[in-house]
Amino acid sequence: VRAASEPFVEECDVIVLGTGAAGLTAAISAHEHGAEVAVFEKSDQLGGTSAWSGGMLWIPDNPHMRAAGIPDSTAEALEYLDSLSLGMIDGELARVLIETGPEMVSFLEERTPVQFRLVPRFPDYHPEHPGGKPGGGRSLECPLYPFDELGEWASRVTVGTQLTGRLSMSETPLGRGAPDGVPRAELERRAVRDERGAGLALVGRLLRACLDRGIEPRTSMRATELVVVDGAVRGVRFDATEGAVGARGGVVLATGGFEWDDALVRSFVRGPLTHPVSVPTNTGDGLRMAMRVGVALGNMREAWWLPVVDIADRAGQPMRWQVNGERARPHSIMVNRQGRRFVNEAANYNALGAAFHEIDVTTFEYANLPCWIVVDEQFVRKFGFVGYRGEGAPPSWLTRAESIEALSEQLGIPPRALRDTVERFSAMATDGADVDFGRGRSAHDTWWGDPALTGRIDATLGPVDTAPFYAIEVHPGALGTKGGPRTDVNGQVLDVDGVPLPGLYAAGNVMASVMGMTYGGAGGTLAPAMVFGYLGGRHAARAAARVVMAT
């Protein structure tokens, strides 16, 4: 931390670091509240993990629910989060999140090209908890966005590998799109104006809103240090340039999590996180910058957990795949090295983190790592396993065997144990009740299961009894970490004594998440990211106005 003894090379009202949904929303909000804004991005591409995402936002009591007549309230949403809190959720921040969500949606819809609609019927992730919504309504998405609206900026938005296409989430099997998918003619029509869905639609719209305000994000600008003047954060240094850039109102950290920094992960996170799926530039720069100026940290143990498998893309390049629908569909189980099931496989991906981190106190090993997903021929024929439908040789990343015993030997699992597990599960599946782990009791499980059987137990339970059998190791991954600087209700970062540190804000995965260890529903990470971006941008703009008036 250096005081600015030399003048800033450039000055504005509000600096935003990072161009994911948190950063872009903060920039728009600051500008709408009167600030001159500068946005900097470490990568040579824009949009962060937000652009790779499904682009869904979990906003209880949102305006689109109200229009559709779906009842909800702040009290219900708070009761729901409280039921999942385990003492980790700050009630005041949760209230602000829930109360501000609908306001943020209306603000963006009224003032920018960012528009939302319901992802119909998508249930919350723990819908049977008090205040939960088994029939959905809280998850929103943006309609497709024509990228030709972005001109030369279109090619500067990062494109992920898992969700790259021209589909909205509500058109995918998970979002309950038409069983035959989107017709080819419609996809060809979408190609004309480069219409894109999911996270690309969200980021494309947010970026357009920035460009409309004259805010042109600067790429390949890695922020490295905050400049503190008289106890307030007043600027930023970058590794690519000499001299610091000043901000009269403040700096919004929106630099994502620290999941790609092994040392930080090992220091803080509660258990193995070997497979992040976010943009690799999320290496905890914002966390380090904040630690250097003496902030309070919170929620450091947690990440948005995710089971991940290593596969290869069509070109044979290694690729990580979020193994979600596969776990929930019938004819599949997950087993540990003892050959035993250890979890409701269809539970939401974030909750599975707890099962990955369980320790066997006798052997002092992670009880459920390594683990595998095992499916049978029925599964592969019905659903395909990441595109493989049982025709020809399986891909190199997928183990196949003619019997459960042969599969166990290839995996190094006791054959008898795996056979017993498979037989027990198959009998329970045939009876329609997983008495061991309760798979299928929740509306969540059957939603993520076979789309053709939603709401029925056989959407998720089906015997694993038809050779050949297939398996792949499942790794403890994450969408991103969710610990970092603690903030107040304005998104202002707190110092180690819990007092707001003038001039510093945080939003998104860089900040101590309001959600504690939970994931409320589809959109549970982007919603708080954008709400706290909105709040922080607004507060920083007002702070800048006060500085200008005082000088």
Residues at the site binding ligand FAD, with contacts judged by CB under 6 A = 17-23, 40-43, 48-50, 52-56, 160, 162-163, 222-223, 254-256, 277-279, 281-282, 285, 304, 479-480, 508-509, 522-526, 529
Compute the least distance from the CB of residue 437 to ligand FAD, in Å: 25
Burial of 551 (0-12, 13-18, 19+ CB in 10 A): exposed
Compute the least distance from the CB of residue 503 to ligand FAD, in Å: 17
Decide: 39 and 56 in contact? Cβ < 8 Å.
no
Compute the least distance from the CB of residue 113 to ligand FAD, in Å: 19
Give residues with Cβ within 8 angstroms of 316, minimum separation 6.
none
Of the pair 330, 523, the CB lying nearest ligand FAD is at: 523
Residue type, 452: A
Of the pair 50, 336, the CB lying nearest ligand FAD is at: 50
Of the pair 292, 381, the CB lying nearest ligand FAD is at: 292
Residue 114 structure tokens: 């960012």
Compute the least distance from the CB of residue 90 to ligand FAD, in Å: 18
Compute the least distance from the CB of residue 187 to ligand FAD, in Å: 20
Residue 91 structure tokens: 């009630």
Helix (H, G, I), strand (E, B) or coil at 104: helix
Of the pair 356, 470, the CB lying nearest ligand FAD is at: 356
Of the pair 218, 424, the CB lying nearest ligand FAD is at: 218
Compute the least distance from the CB of residue 12 to ligand FAD, in Å: 15
Helix (H) or strand (E) holding 41: none
Residue 526 structure tokens: 């982007």
Closest CA to 532 of 518, 501, 503, 511: 511
Of the pair 53, 426, the CB lying nearest ligand FAD is at: 53
End-to-end CA distance of the chain: 25
Of the pair 48, 325, the CB lying nearest ligand FAD is at: 48
Compute the least distance from the CB of residue 521 to ligand FAD, in Å: 9
Helix (H, G, I), strand (E, B) or coil at 525: coil
- DSSP 8-state assignment for residue 144: P
Compute the least distance from the CB of residue 47 to ligand FAD, in Å: 6
Of the pair 43, 348, the CB lying nearest ligand FAD is at: 43
Query: Count of CB atoms within 10 A of residue 69's CB?
Result: 7
Compute the least distance from the CB of residue 404 to ligand FAD, in Å: 32
Compute the least distance from the CB of residue 350 to ligand FAD, in Å: 10
Give residues with Cβ within 8 angstroms of 79, minimum separation 6.
130, 131
Compute the least distance from the CB of residue 229 to ligand FAD, in Å: 20
Give whole-number Cα distances, 107 to 6, 113, 283, in Å: 39, 11, 31
Compute the distance between CA of residue 463 and CA of residue 457 in angstroms, rounded to an integer: 12
Of the pair 200, 411, the CB lying nearest ligand FAD is at: 200
Compute the least distance from the CB of residue 400 to ligand FAD, in Å: 27
Beta strands at 492-494 and 332-336: parallel, antiparallel or unpaired: unpaired
Give whole-number Cα distances, 370 to 162, 216, 339, in Å: 24, 45, 11
Of the pair 440, 480, the CB lying nearest ligand FAD is at: 480
Of the pair 306, 457, the CB lying nearest ligand FAD is at: 306
Residue type, 16: V
HSE, CB side, 13 Å, CA atoms: give it for residue 484: 37
DSSP letter string, 149-184: GGGGGGGGB---SSS-SS--GGGSTTTT--TT-S-H
Of the pair 259, 465, the CB lying nearest ligand FAD is at: 259
Decide: 213 and 232 in contact? Cβ < 8 Å.
no
DSSP letter string, 412-449: T--HHHHHHHHHHHHHHHHHT--TTT-TTSSHHHHHHS
Give whole-number Cα distances, 295 to 371, 466, 484, 500, 502, in Å: 38, 56, 9, 9, 11
Compute the least distance from the CB of residue 219 to ligand FAD, in Å: 9
Closest CA to 107 of 39, 208, 209: 209
Of the pair 282, 408, the CB lying nearest ligand FAD is at: 282
Beta strands at 223-229 and 399-401: parallel, antiparallel or unpaired: unpaired
Of the pair 197, 451, the CB lying nearest ligand FAD is at: 197
Compute the least distance from the CB of residue 221 to ligand FAD, in Å: 6
